[in-house]
Amino acid sequence: MTMNGVSARDERLKSLAAFRYEMRRFLSFSEAASERYGIATQQYQLMQVIAAMEEGKDASISYLADRMVLKHNSMVELVDRAERAGLVKREHDERDLRRSLVRLTPEGKSILDKLVAEHMAELSPRCEPLIEALRNLQHLAVQAEQNG
């Protein structure tokens, strides 16, 4: 089946490539911004997850691993590195002394605030191309679903 001489497969491929390109541009910016502050991108992401937690949730290693889609042992290593960098600290859970909770340090919060501001400023001009690429994908996905 063709749409204006272009196969549906080609259209999907182009839309996926455009979306991936826009995402990679933003992720590349994010990696460079994190490096300017002397931290790894995953450390920035870890700080985001901790700071954005819902009220009443605890930043346990298991919770963080789930939110970052990492294995438990990988999360332990990431928290170890972030702790050595002074970005986070571990505290014993008063309700369950077998587990640790992870908190941002004042230094981690300061770096996070700066990175969030930079990311929001970077997103402003990039939002429209990213949203357009996502809308194109959504449209094609709906068409594919309707066509069986």
3-state SS class at 31: helix
SS3 content of the chain, % helix, strand, coil (to 5): 70, 10, 20
**Which sequence spans correspond to the domains of the chain?**
2-141
CA–CA gap between residue 108 and residue 88 (Å, rounded): 6
Q: What is the mean pLDDT, run by run of 10 residues, along the chain of 148 residues?
A: 65 91 94 97 98 91 96 97 98 86 97 97 88 89 84
CA–CA gap between residue 128 and residue 113 (Å, rounded): 24
CATH number of 2-141: 1.10.10.10
The predicted model scores a pTM of 0.84
The 3 state secondary structure assigned to 62-89 is: HHHHHHHCCCHHHHHHHHHHHHHCCCEE
